[in-house]
Homo-oligomer: A and B are copies of this chain.
Amino acid sequence: MTKAQLFDQIKQKKSYLCVGLDTDIQKIPQHLLVEKDPIFEFNRQIIDATHQFAVAYKPNIAFYEAMGAKGWESLQKTMEYIPKECFTIADAKRGDIGNTSGLYARAFFDKNSSGLDFDSVTVAPYMGADSVTPFLDFPNKWVILLALTSNGGSKDFQNLRLEDNKQLFEEVIRKSQEWATDEQLMYVVGATKADMLTHIRTLAPEHFLLVPGVGAQGGSLEEVSKYGMNSHCGLLVNSSRGIIYASTDKDFAKVAGEEAQKVQVEMEKYLNLYLS
């Protein structure tokens, strides 16, 4: 998917919501466990209930890998079920030396090889240029590079000061722009504070940012939208648990849809207010 197509979707659905399909067999409603593939059945119903309100879906690959080969089958069925207009993110946080990152690219982008055909994959920057560039050989596919994550451990290395007084995550954002343009590169930015978002927008004014940590993790959607939005929206805001586990009863899909709609309504307001 191109950047223009993604922005079109955002304008059409009046939403920049990404639904995180962090589907855990230990957390889904009990009544689904009789199904042949409970993980896929859960995802199917969540997608049915939310796709009007979401422009993107982001399965975190760990949840599927934890179930081995069976998990990959559930993931593949889920990918085939997601409506084609939605942007898909393999939240895999991969990264390896060049030829091996090429194989991860085949795993997530090459349907003939792996059965999967995501639009994008999250990548960890530690191994540098050649761990990122093999993904960019696939036209209209995206790397979403970890820059500033929202977990407690992010401060251990990402906020380290370099000799020029920059923080490591700032150098990740700067350096990676030598490898790709904003037509193939986004950043994971777990920032929900105004000053930090404003600062990141000076480093990457045109890039899409994937923002986790809104909703269950407590960030403010208004702050993110006010300080992070650019002229083509430039935001995908993820919510996982806040939507998919809003109810763990038989009505889980209906409640998930209602939660997604609430977020979409709020996003529509911010698009009207802050789209520059």
Contact = CB atoms under 8 A, between A and B. Distances in A.
Interface string A82-103: 0000000000011111101101
B160 A146 contact: no
A76 B68 contact: yes
B130 A151 contact: yes
Give the oligomeric copy count. 2
Q: Most B CB atoms within 10 A — which of A22, A103, A158?
A: A103
A139 to B, nearest CB: 19
Contacts of A66: 103-104, 106-107, 110, 113-114
The size class of the interface chain A forms with chain B is 35 or more
B126 A158 contact: yes
A193 interface: no
B168 A168 contact: yes
A35 interface: no
Contacts of A253: none
A203 interface: no
A63 interface: yes
A103 B153 contact: no
A1 interface: no
21 contacts: A62-B100, A62-B101, A62-B103, A63-B103, A65-B104, A65-B107, A68-B107, A71-B114, A93-B94, A93-B95, A93-B96, A124-B126, A127-B158, A128-B154, A130-B152, A130-B153, A132-B153, A157-B171, A157-B172, A161-B162, A168-B168
